[in-house]
Amino acid sequence: MAPSKDRQRKLARAKFDRQQARRAERERRRRRITAGLGTGLAVLLIVAGVAWAGGAFDSDDDNATTEAADICLWTPLDAKTNTDLKEVGTPPTKDLPETGTETMTITTDKGDPIQVGLDVENATCAAASFSYLAGKKFFDNTTCHEITTEGAVRCGDPTGTGNGGPTYSFYSENLPAAAPEPSPSASAAPPAEVTYPKGTVAMIGNPPGSNGSQFLLFFKDFTAANPQYSIVGTVTAGLDTLEKIGKIPTVETTGGDKISPKEKITIKSLTVGAAGTPAPSASAAQS
């Protein structure tokens, strides 16, 4: 995953540098135009300079460069190697929202819908992936197959095995900072800051950092010394439903871990934004 992560960072940095370079060049042009102008031409040329600075005279090549910038990368996975993967194409790589929040609504068979505010700014690619998969109805009629010992409900795997997901992965974008090393002083150390407060929604990958469709809904606070789950959003409504789900008794899995819900937890539907919004076109269909 490291090469993809490095390339993603380079893409983001290159995009920022292009934007800054264009702005600086426009400002230099405006200053050259307005400097030393005669009184009779000043107004006309200032108006032209402002339009120029706003991009009115940018070349088509400049716009094409901006439009071609990739925002996210999706690492392909082989469904022949892992038969639990589901082929649904891949999300777009460009022209994706990068600011604000989006509303994700999870309707289960356990109570009122759970609403999540997706952090588009800090988890751009995770939010884009949720939006894409929701448009494909990827999560509909799937189960939340674990109630973890960390205090979270694990969902998003159509097979319910912990190995399933789409035929792509993406790197972690918004990992919490690791807890500081304990002080060698004799005085008692202050309590560690909660890494994943109740209501946090985070991606879970296998291996960590290789995210697909599986996610965690934390129904209680959890503090991790070495955080591995990338935060994608926060529950904004339906926390009581989540807490109710978290109280479902668990039984041991075949591996001996007591994390399998005794009751089936079904996601009836998962939507992002307005219900019925069509999915973005897959990158596989792009020319």
> Which tens digits make up the pLDDT trace of 68-100?
589 999 999 999 999 999 999 999 999 999 999
Mean of per-residue pLDDT scores for the chain: 81
Of 206 and 186, more confident: 206
Share of the chain above pLDDT 70, in %: 67
Of 247, 255, 164, which Cα lies nearest the Cα of 204?
A: 164
pLDDT at residue 178 above 70? yes
pLDDT at 154: 98
Token pair in block for residue 80 = 């022949």
pLDDT at 46: 45
pLDDT at 255: 84
pLDDT at residue 151 above 60? yes
Of 275, 141, 173, 270, which Cα lies nearest the Cα of 217?
A: 270
d(CA 266, CA 120): 26
**Least confident stretch, 146-155, 160-169, 182-191:** 182-191
Q: Is the pTM of this model over 0.75?
A: no
Four-residue CA torsion sign, 89, 93, 97, 101: positive
Of 43 and 112, more confident: 112
SS (H, E, C) the chain: CHHHHHHHHHHHHHHHHHHHHHHHHHHHHHHHHHCCCCHHHHHHHHHHHHHHHCCCCCCHHHHHHHHCCCCCCCEECCCCCCCCEECCCCCCCCCCCCCCEEEEEEEECCCCCEEEEEECCCCHHHHHHHHHHHHCCCCCCEECCEECCCCEEEECECCCCCCCEECEEECCCCCCCCCCCCCCCCCCCCCCCCCECCCEEEECCCCCCCECCCEEEECCCECCCCCCCEEEEEEEECHHHHHHHHCCCEEECCCCCEEEECCCCEEEEEEECCCCCCCCCCHHHCC
Q: How confident is the model at residue 55 (pLDDT cuts 50, 70, 90)?
A: low
How many C-alpha atoms does 39 have within 13 Å on its Cβ side? Answer: 0
Query: Taking residues 243-250, what's their average pLDDT?
Result: 97
Query: Taking residues 130-158, what's their average pLDDT?
Result: 97
pLDDT at 286: 43
How many C-alpha atoms does 84 have within 13 Å on its Cβ side? Answer: 14
pLDDT at 211: 97
d(CA 120, CA 118): 6
pLDDT at 67: 54
Most confident of 29-33, 47-51, 97-101: 97-101
Q: How confident is the model at residue 14 (pLDDT cuts 50, 70, 90)?
A: low
